[in-house]
A = this chain, B = another copy of it.
Amino acid sequence: MEGKKFSVIKGGGITSPAGFKAAGICAGLKKSGKTDMALIFSETPAKAAAAFTTCLFAAAPVVLGRETLKKNSHISAVIVNSGNANACTGKNGLKNARKMAELTSKQLGVKPSAVLVSSTGRIGVQMPMGKIETGIKKACSSLSANGGHDSALAIMTTDTCPKEISVSLDVSGRKVTIGGMTKGSGMIAPGMQTVPHATMLAYVTTDAVINAKFLNKCLAEGTDKSFNRITVDGDMSTNDTLVILANGKAGNREIKSGSKDGANFKQALFHVLENLAKAIVLDGEGVTKFVTIKVLNAHSEKDATLCAKSIANSLLCKTAWFGGDPNWGRVMCAAGYSGASFNPDKVCLFYDNIPVVKNGQDAGTAESVLSNVVRNKSFTITLNLKSGKESTEVWTGDISYKYVKINADYHT
């Protein structure tokens, strides 16, 4: 990256920024016996910004989270469980989510309204509150300044690996650190209102002193450029959540909109978000290829996105990529039915930088050359609509036998 103003902290995660502790423990919610409860704690209340799923069947913790953040700008803790989504659980589900916040707040000596709750896992089953209560106590007593990695492991469901990152940057002579973790592997098709879709959970911590309005702006813009650009299977979840907490422990000059500090912070934060979002695709259920879809020169941003997501979600494109087949007709087709408006006779298509389609027709490149591109583990498909000035980029994967197997075998 040119003009990179931050450095990546090797092995870093959500406890890399000053003043954050975390834990990952086993509450007994997963049949596998793996850890299934994570806790993030900020020693001083942190400014919070969040984005949630736009799915109408929003899970109870999402409903509660929206309510909490309407009333409170500062958050001290986030309690997260995997193994149960607490979605489609009605009034009782909401009561249980509130109870989770209360139990956590009691243990930590903070207000219930300073606690956010997240859940991921099975839909439609009431929370086993006995296990939850014991688990929360255990999580609170396990908090550690080195607990980031444990918490990243505890939020996993069908993920095959934890997804963490941390970066630091200089702000007015002070070291500001940003840490992040995420989970998500299936039901991934971002599109949150200022937040992605899929049971994708993401938590970002920072010790930066930052203007609250600017923090919210960074979150909204950053989400659109990261989680809202990924799609594994086109399915959005009931529980998608992205939370960012800024506790100010770095003691830097306040980061504001329009400043050089602001630009640098944004750059570092967006790197964290993009890295976490791409990690979800790379760990997508059964994914064998990482495919970047670029749509250039669309009439509108909406058209660019329609087109890119239509290609990214096309089962025929995804299975062709799995088969290492350059089948560009499927890509054109998906663009053509996307709902985007453009002149089909102007469209040019590239696989990496190799011309595939020129002005709506075969560019004449030998099929063997195109095959070599789509047989790679990672490649870029660029569609130039030549209809306007808006462009976008979406990251996705292929669909393999393994995807079908994972999702046919994952019994409720």
Binding site for B on A (CB under 8 A): 53-58, 85, 87-90, 122-125, 186-187, 189, 191, 197, 233-238, 313-316, 319-320, 322-323, 325-330, 332-337, 340-342, 344-345, 357, 359-362, 367, 399-401, 403-405, 407-412
Contacts and interface: CB of A to CB of B under 8 A. Distances in A.
Contacts of A123: 328-330, 332-333
Given A124-B329, A412-B367, A404 B57 contact: no
A412 to B, nearest CB: 5
Number of copies: 2
B322 A404 contact: yes
A92 B37 CA distance: 63
Contacts of A236: 333, 336-337
Contacts of A320: 407-408
A287 B233 CA distance: 19
A325 to B, nearest CB: 5
Query: Chain A at the B interface: mostly helix, strand, loop or mixed?
Result: loop
A381 B410 CA distance: 20
Contacts of A337: 53-56, 189, 191, 197, 235-236
Nearest to A89: B361
B408 A322 contact: yes
A359 B197 CA distance: 24
List the 7 closest A-B pairs by CB distance, nearest first.
A123-B329, A323-B408, A319-B407, A57-B336, A236-B337, A55-B336, A56-B336
Contacts of A189: 337
A233 to B, nearest CB: 4
Contacts of A319: 403-404, 407-408
Given A187-B333, A361-B88, A401-B404, A342 B56 contact: yes
